[in-house]
Structure 1
Amino acid sequence: MTQAYAGWQADAVTETSQPPVAPTSATTPVVILSDGVVTLRAHSVDDADAIVEQSSDPASLRWTTVPRPYSRADALGWIERNSAAWAEPGGTRSWAIEWTDGTGAARYGGTIDLRPGAAPSTGELGFGLHPDARGRGLMSRAVRLVVGHAFSTPVWGAPVGRIHWRAVVGNWGSRRAAWAAGFTFHGTIPGSHPDPEGGPLALDTWTASITPGDTLSARTPWLAPTEVTGERVRLRPWRPDDVDAIEPRDDPDHWMPSRSILRRETFAAWLLTRQERMSEGTAVDWCVADVETDRALGSVTLFSRVGPIGDTAELGYQLFPSARGRGAAKEAARLAVAHALAPASEGGLGVRRLVGETAADNEASNAVLRSAGFVPFGREHAVDRVAGGGWGDGLHWELLPDGATD
């Protein structure tokens, strides 16, 4: 599954029939689907060169198990098999994705297929885009067309009641197409896919599905860390090379959950988790960087513990030891708070209320919240196990903008 980007509303689906163009044995006519922007049609021998280009592209090689190297003969054989499968009662239903470029020319854009699942009532979706077709919202349209067709037609002799999607973890383009078409994400399946690059270990996959009656549009927001610049710090997206700036910490263990602490050895997994949360609409995570050097100083996040961020969000932050004591955390918190409270029409989250939690004895963290306008509203006694034995208290904070309680 190659990368695909989405974000369009579904239009009306039209269906007709067309005999496949590829020279094959007797086959069943391919059902053409169109929403006026993309058309799903039979694969043709005229697509062969573009299929070779797509299958030789670095993204296709990274995320799919296409033959390596991929030849024109591979493409022609694949076209032939796709066409013949339409005549099989339980065969895969494959379409070429066609789109119109800026010159008005119709172009091959990729492929999408619906494969039989564990029973005739289930299907599995697979797709990939040619490099020239990416970033245009085409794949989410194609997904909606196939899903709509499957739920209105007994594809394999029985009504289809669920369509599954799966992709190797990290294939954000494929995930975004499924997200935009209304799929519900179920989680990660460890060690469930062969490594396309031939590595000895199986890779993890994301899984999602959709059922009849589900809205064919995104169910949750896909949040992103918009860059914000202050006097001392800049909030920006994390980059892989930021791992080099991470410093060891010697804070008391009860000041922050261990899984949330930035460490070099776990940075890749830490970052993936936060990217997944942003794709689910449950968090926005920024790297706090020095405004002059752009070196990472720590992190700041807005998140929800109970699903996508709604009218309330929680503030979290951590700075590396060398970045403390110069107001960086306070400014980062204020910038994040401003983003949270700004209306969605202005690029913010439009939340009504912000909350936070700290260890009662973490004076530096408490000072950050006070500087951002938070006030304590509760104390939880004996909630944190402290070093040397005993228990410490936790504080609960909130920020309500003027007029929020009216």
Structure 2
Amino acid sequence: MEPITLTTERLLLRPFGPGDTDRVYAACQDPDIQRWTVIPSPYRRTDAELFTGTLSPTGWRDDSMYNFAVVLRKDGALVGALGIDRRNLPGTYEVGFWIAREHRRLGYVTEAVLGSARWAFTSLAADRLEWRAEVGNIPSRAAALRAGFRMECEQRSALLNKGVRRDAWIAALLPGDLGLPGTHPYLPAGRRPPAADH
């Protein structure tokens, strides 16, 4: 897929490029980002170069993941990163994100997640957008809930982070949660399918 830019009220979600390397490297020195995400720790400049110059462009080219630099519209400051990754089940994607320390608790995560979710539902034909995080990552969970995700379960040993398996929270957002149509019909548990016409 050709990389695209999404616009929200305060943010631009645009593809990463080599020009973002220094800012990604600086933001990812934050111990909280290294603790709660699967980025390398310690995080070296070569890791930032790999992410901005190789992994992100390759994900767009092979339609496996769509990484966005989340920047402020007013001045171009890097707020964080957001990725939409393709899962094994058709129509299912996963969203992940990190936010630089100085931009937290300002509603940027919710705004970015909602903007990217609408794009995933309308442009990628997603029928389900998942969020997962290690149990205990309260800020990430709060952001997902504010964006309308519904908690579904806690999975044992569902994440591998820096060589350690960890328990994970799982939540999902569906097109109907945002008033959008899905690609396929959805029949929630306990409901009967519509009667066939005779």
| TM-score bin (small chain) | 0.7 to 0.9
Residue 46 (str. 1) matches residue 19 (str. 2)? yes
Q: 1 CA distance for matches of 2:160 and 2:92?
A: 23
Instruction: Quote the residue 1:194 is aligned against.
Output: 160
Counterpart CA distance in 2 for 1:147 and 1:138 is: 14
Q: Does 1:65 align with 2:31?
A: no
- Do structure 1's residue 121 and structure 2's residue 74 form an aligned pair? no
Give the secondary structure class of the aligned counterpart of 2:47: helix
| Correspondences of 1:91-102 after superposition (within 5 Å) | 91-100=64-73
Moved over 3 A (4+): none
Q: Distance in 2 between matches of 1:120 and 1:187?
A: 21
1:136 aligned onto 2:110 = no
Query: Does the residue aligned with 1:31 lie in a helix, a strand or coil?
Result: coil
Q: Within 2, Cα distance between the matches of 1:160 and 1:132?
A: 32
**What is the match of residue 213 of structure 1?**
176
CA contact (8 A) 1:50 1:130 kept: no
Gaps of 5+ in 2: 180-198
Match of 2:56 in 1: 82
Query: Which residue of structure 2 aligns with residue 168 of structure 1?
Result: 134
SS of 1:65's equivalent? coil
Quote the residue 1:152 is aligned against: 122
**Percent identity among equivalent residues?**
29
Q: Is the 8 A contact 1:29 1:86 kept in 2?
A: yes
Q: What is the CA-CA distance between 1:135 and the residue it aligns to?
A: 1.3
**Structure 1 counterpart of 2:76, one-letter code:** A
Shift of 1:121: 0.9
CA offsets, 1:22-41, max 9 Å, x none?
xxxxxx43111111211100
> Counterpart amino acid of 2:101?
P
Bigger Rg, which one: 1
Shift of 1:192: 1.6
- Paired amino acid for 1:85: G
CA-CA distance at 1:185 after TM superposition: 0.4
Hey, what's the Cα distance between the residues in 2 that align with 1:148 and 1:175? 19
Give the structure 2 partner of residue 310 of structure 1. Answer: none
Alpha-carbon distance in structure 2 between the residues aligned to 1:58 and 1:116:
27
Tell me the CA shift for residue 84 of structure 1.
Answer: 2.3
C-alpha distance in 2 between matches for 1:195 and 1:149: 28
Q: Which runs of 5+ in 1 are unaligned?
A: 1-27, 217-406
Report Cα offsets for 1:203-250 as digits up to 9, x if no partner: 21110001111038xxxxxxxxxxxxxxxxxxxxxxxxxxxxxxxxxx
Amino acid at match of 1:50: R
Give 1:195 deviation, angstroms: 4.3
TM-score, with normalisation over the residues of structure 1?
Answer: 0.42
Paired residue secondary structure (1:213): helix
Give a deviation string over 1:95-152, Cα, whole Å, max 9, x none: 100015xxx5220111111111122311011111111221111011010011100111
Question: Cα 1:192–1:68, aligned 2, differ >3 Å: closer, same or farther?
Answer: same
1:185 and 2:159 aligned: no
Computed over aligned residues only, the root mean square deviation of the Cα atoms, in angstroms, reads: 1.7
Aligned mates of 1:125, 1:181 — CA distance in 2: 12
1-structure distance, mates of 2:37, 2:8: 27
Q: Which amino acid aligns with 1:141?
A: E
1:52 touches 1:75 (CA, 8 Å); kept in 2? Answer: yes
Letter in 2 for 1:56: Q
Q: Separation in 2 of the partners of 1:85 and 1:52? A: 20
Q: Distance in 2 between matches of 1:94 and 1:61?
A: 18
SS at match of 1:30: coil
Matches of 1:215 and 1:116, distance apart in 2: 20
Identify the structure with bigger relative contact order (alpha carbons < 8 Å, sequence gap 6+). 2
